[in-house]
């Protein structure tokens, strides 16, 4: 199945926010019930923060009038806090940001009926097709090896272990992907 993709930027964040929250609450229902890190309020304030960042972009997939999933992120600013929780030693230039070097994929989620249909990969590629950064980064929970494997199948590579410096944060793999336009 091929989803219809709509693109959103910060100026349209108010319009799309209720949809993003609704899909989050559905996709993460089990995690929301069991893990404070996944709470809807925390996600909602995170969404507000991300969507007001310069360069925030979001793609939402539709199957007819039904939302199937979405992805969003934004470029890392110079001296990004993103890398502050990195637990592995890497050369300084690997984590040096300019504001235009690295796009951070913050969220990618697909509603259950549209899993294993290629929709997730389509959303992923549609998001990056519009970006001009040289590379992208994301964090995947170490407790979700199948999701990590999925990203590796899409070309991502693990840089190292990372635990964000925020309360209740789990341990993540920090991953990197070279973007073709970079
Ligand atoms: C990640 C996602 C977009 C991938 O969609 P997809 O390409 O259709 O792939 P699948 O849903 O089949 O996921 C691949 C495997 O990862 C597993 N997986 C996906 N999300 C998972 C999660 N949050 N926790 C644990 N395992 C997960 C799936 O069960 C599947 O395993 P299987 O092959 O044994 O069935 C979709 O699974 C999803 O929305 N997951 C919930 C949100 C999420 O975890 N996003 C990624 C954050 S880094």
For the chain, give every domain's residue range.
Answer: 4-178
Q: Work out the percent of the chain whose per-residue pLDDT is above 70.
A: 99
**182 falls in which pLDDT band (50, 70, 90)?**
low
Asked whether 146 lines ligand 1 (CB < 6 A), one says yes
How does the average pLDDT of the chain come out, rounded? Answer: 96
Domain covering 4-178 in this structure, CATH number: 3.40.630.30
- The burial of 8, by beta-carbon neighbours within 10 Å (0-12 exposed, 13-18 middle, 19 or more buried), is given as buried
Q: Decide: helix, strand or coil at residue 50.
A: helix
Asked whether 120 lines ligand 1 (CB < 6 A), one says yes
**36 falls in which pLDDT band (50, 70, 90)?**
confident
- Strands of 4-9's sheet, edge to edge? 4-9, 57-63, 66-75, 102-110, 135-141, 172-178, 157-162
pLDDT the model gives residue 179? 97
Average pLDDT of the residues in 50-78: 98
Asked whether 144 lines ligand 1 (CB < 6 A), one says yes
From 26, 115, 117, 151, the mutation candidate for ligand 1 (largest count of ligand atoms within 8 A of CB) is 115
Asked whether 147 lines ligand 1 (CB < 6 A), one says yes
Helices (H), strands (E): how many in the chain?
A: 5, 7
50 alpha carbon to ligand 1 midpoint, in Å? 22
Atom 31 of ligand 1: nearest residue by CA position: 146
**110 falls in which pLDDT band (50, 70, 90)?**
very high
Atom 46 of ligand 1: nearest residue by CA position: 108
Asked whether 76 lines ligand 1 (CB < 6 A), one says no
112 alpha carbon to ligand 1 midpoint, in Å? 9
Average pLDDT of the residues in 84-92: 96
Average pLDDT of the residues in 19-43: 95
pLDDT the model gives residue 14? 97
**148 falls in which pLDDT band (50, 70, 90)?**
very high
């Amino acid at each position: 199945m091929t989803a219809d993709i709509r693109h959103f930027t910060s100026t349209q964040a108010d319009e799309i926010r209720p949809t993003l929250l609704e899909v989050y609450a559905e996709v993460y229902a089990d995690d929301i019930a069991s893990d404070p890190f996944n709470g809807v309020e925390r996600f909602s304030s995170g969404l507000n923060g991300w969507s007001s960042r310069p360069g925030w972009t979001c793609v939402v997939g539709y199957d007819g009038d039904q939302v199937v999933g979405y992805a969003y992120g934004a470029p890392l600013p110079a001296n990004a806090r993103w890398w502050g929780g990195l637990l592995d030693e890497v050369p300084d230039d690997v984590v040096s940001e300019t504001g235009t070097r690295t796009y951070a994929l913050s969220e990618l989620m697909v509603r259950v009926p549209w899993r294993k249909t290629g929709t997730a990969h389509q959303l992923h590629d549609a998001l990056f097709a519009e970006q001009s950064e040289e590379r992208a980064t994301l964090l995947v929970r170490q407790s979700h090896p199948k999701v990590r494997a999925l990203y590796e199948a899409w070309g991502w590579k693990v840089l190292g272990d990372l635990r964000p410096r925020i309360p209740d944060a789990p341990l993540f793999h920090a991953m990197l992907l070279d973007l073709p336009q970079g």
